[in-house]
Chains A and B, each alone.
Chain A
Amino acid sequence: MVKNHFWSPYVAGLGLGLTLLATIYIVGWGLGASSAFSLVTGVGINKLNPAYAKNLEYFSQYLDIKAPLINWVLFEVGGLFLGALAGALLGGNFKVRFDKARDMKSSTRLFTAFGGGILIGFSSRLARGCTSGVALSGGAQLALSGWIFGL
């Protein structure tokens, strides 16, 4: 199969938009992603060092509830993984690889991936969400938050 044989972005966007519409219509909030990372980190730190986790006031929003991993966004991100896996397999686009720019060294890519990730993790907490939660869901609600984040 041809590698990277994607659908038209307009078709994928239509599907994504309908998924988002269905989500808001049924459950009353939009799609998200970044909070799942923060949640898992908070729970993980709590497992490793409960005393330290208790000191981190920001994580208390996850740790003060009985079963923090029974979480809507976390389950949704689990589904995201399955759906993307299905898409990659169907499209003949699944391949284990370490993706980087053509002339980039692997050590440089390791650095850009991890460093970029840190910036994303920090800023999506600061902005109260990421591309999915704020820009996409907020954008569709014509929420001010979504449009200033997108800028």
Chain B
Amino acid sequence: MIAPLMVSQGVGLLLAVILGIFFGLFLERGGLGNPHKLTGVFYLTDFAVPKVMFTAIIVAASGLYLLSDLKLLDMSRIWIVPTYFWPQIAGGAIFGLGFLISGYCPGTAVAGLASGRLDALVVMTGIGAGSLVFAISYPYIEGFYSSTPMGGITLPELFGLNHWIVLGFVYALAAGMFYLMERYEKRPLKKI
């Protein structure tokens, strides 16, 4: 059978909880519920967060395109987050700032709260408030929000390259980053 599999709503929700449990388990065990791991990236002392993220992206991307090549997965039926170029550039920049200031992103805040961190609960309240701010300002920024739409486009489509070539670049980028991060972490630590 060709995936994505069609499941009923009830089964889908059960799977949501089960997949969510694994998601949370690996986030927490990777240290991503710990805000010091995040600030460690900016102080160049602890690179656990990008290591987890990049490893996950490589594993999932390789699996997806392999399954697609084997005709086990129909990529055209997968929901791909549509690209809106400038809103996502701006959103990514503001997000990075919030990430750095708070020490969490939405998913890791939930993981942080689950490990007993009350500051994560404050961040979660803030995220809710920020969503409300967005909803209130939506009529004024709707034009920008919907600007530069490019659809659910992927990098292989954009550059007209085979996906394994793009993946090759991703592997090389990851290998270079992992190498530099390991070297940096091994240098003698100064007390901050």
Report A's interface with B, CB cutoff 8 A. Answer: 4, 6-7, 9-31, 33-34, 36-38, 40-42, 44-45, 56-59, 70, 72-73, 75-88, 91, 93-101, 109-110, 112-151
Q: Which of A16, A26, A75 contacts B30 (CB 8 A)?
A: A16
Q: Which of A81, A98, A100, A128 contacts B82 (CB 8 A)?
A: A128
Q: Are A120 and B129 in contact (CB under 8 A)?
A: no
Q: Enumerate 7 A-B pairs (CB-CB under 8 Å) in ascending A order.
A: A10-B51, A21-B60, A83-B27, A101-B36, A121-B131, A125-B130, A141-B80
User: Which chain A residues lie closer than 8 Å to B4 at the CB level?
Assistant: 24-28
User: Which chain A residues lie closer than 8 Å to B39 at the CB level?
Assistant: 101
Q: Are A97 and B133 in contact (CB under 8 A)?
A: no
Q: Are A130 and B95 in contact (CB under 8 A)?
A: yes
Report B's interface with A, CB cutoff 8 A. Answer: 3-5, 7, 9, 12-13, 15-36, 39, 47-49, 51-61, 63-65, 67, 73, 77-85, 87-95, 97-120, 122-136, 138-139, 141, 145, 150, 152-156, 158, 163, 166-167, 170
Q: Are A117 and B129 in contact (CB under 8 A)?
A: yes
Q: Which of A112, A125, A144 contacts B134 (CB 8 A)?
A: A125
Q: Measured between alpha carbons, how far is A10 from B26 in the docked complex, in Å?
A: 11
With A33-B105, A80-B21 as given contacts, are A146 and B110 in contact (CB-CB < 8 Å)?
A: no
Q: Are A29 and B79 in contact (CB under 8 A)?
A: yes
Q: Are A84 and B12 in contact (CB under 8 A)?
A: no
A-B residue pairs, 8 tightest by C-beta: A117-B126, A121-B130, A79-B20, A13-B55, A116-B102, A127-B91, A17-B59, A12-B30
Q: Determine how close the nearest CB of chain B comes to the CB of A10; give it in whole angstroms.
A: 5
Q: Among B53, B82, B153, B158, which residue has the most Cβ atoms of chain A within 10 A? A: B53
Q: Are A14 and B31 in contact (CB under 8 A)?
A: no
Q: Are B21 and A79 in contact (CB under 8 A)?
A: yes
